[in-house]
Amino acid sequence: MSGSQTSVQLPVLDISQPVHTYSLSSLSEACREWGFFHITNHGISKDLHGKMYVLSNQLFALPTDSKLKLGPLSSIKTYTPHFIASPFFESLRVSGPNFYDSAKSSADVLFNPASSEFSEILQEYGNKMVEISRKILEYVLACLGDGFGQYYGSEFSKCHGYLRIINYSPPNTVIDEQVEGLGMHTDMSCITILYQDEIGGLQVRSKEGEWMDISPSKGALVVNIGDMMHAWSNGRLRSSEHRVVLKQSRNRLSLAFFWCFEDEKVIFAPDEVVGKGKSRNYKPFVCSDYLRFRESSEKGKFEKVGYTVKDFAGSGPLE
């Protein structure tokens, strides 16, 4: 495959505008076609992103032994070391609703002494992400049609979020454009909010199976629809396969925030969402069962694809 990929043009949603005044046609189209769009006026300052950047670099610069104290064999398990998602990928998870406590439990192990700044910044970022996720859900529900906003309270009020801080280290050898930092997968979330730095490398797979670049857009964040929302909307909102390719011989940082249904939630697309005369594409399923399915299917290790919600709960027409 040759050189640079085509970039996909995604609409930019200004989330400071009230939902009811917004023209949702290009957003609806993007949610159906790509499952990806950008947002601006999200309220995350350059300064806060800058702080997150510094803190992430400090974190990943620590010796491997220190980071592994939070690894898969530890009791905390917030750190994903290299060679799980890919040789070039490592990440730290910080979970809500109390981002301060979650960050602190990792920081206490990593840093000696741990400063409260680390946890304070993550708390600020996490709380902002929760606020933004709630706003975005309102727009996304409105994309399904008038009156769908009512589902916000009844179906999405118990959502919770977690943040994954990700560091991609480049290989030592010359970079072939197709080196994957994170392989093809769909997200399991309702929605994901992503900050990618200026290096880029995020790609979405078109319905025809072609990889398209999602180029970094200054000041904007990337949003994508995940499997939970895809299934809940009966497939009307697309959860797209995506991946990260390594572009330059420089570290790449990203911050991925996953806004998810509660574990015990049974996902079942409401009749109005399915629409009259249409059939249900997914059998009802419990969220945690799907999460477990993705963890335990060998190919699905660490959200790697091969398996998606279609394999798990896809069905022929249900009565």
| Residue 90 vs 187, nearer CB to Fe ion | 187
| Residues 262-281 contacting ligand AKG, CB under 6 A | none
| 116 three-state secondary structure | helix
Our finding on whether 256 is near ligand AKG (CB under 6 A) is yes
Choose which of 90, 155, 180, 187 interacts with Fe ion (CB under 5 A): 187
Q: How far is the CB of 242 from Fe ion (least distance, A)?
A: 6
Please, what is the angle between helix 116-144 and helix 46-60, to 10°?
120
User: What is the x/- site pattern for ligand AKG, positions 18-37, by CB under 6 A?
Assistant: --------------------
Residues 6 or more apart whose CB falls under 8 angstroms from that of 233 comprise 144, 269, 273
**Considering CB distances under 5 to 8 angstroms, the limit depending on partner class, which of ligand AKG, Fe ion, none binds residue 287?**
none
| 68 three-state secondary structure | helix
Nearest 5 degrees, angle CA 78-CA 81-CA 87?
A: 150
Rounded CA separation 184/186 (Å): 7
Binding piece for ligand AKG, criterion CB under 6 A, among 24-32, 106-114, 194-202, 276-284: 194-202
Nearest Cα to 168, choosing from 136, 197, 211? 197
**Considering CB distances under 5 to 8 angstroms, the limit depending on partner class, which of ligand AKG, Fe ion, none binds residue 202?**
ligand AKG
| Residue 111 vs 302, nearer CB to ligand AKG | 302
Nearest Cα to 34, choosing from 275, 165, 223, 179? 223
Q: Which residues bind Fe ion (CB under 5 A)?
A: 187
Q: Which residues bind ligand AKG (CB under 6 A)?
A: 164, 166, 182, 187, 194, 196, 202, 242, 244, 254, 256
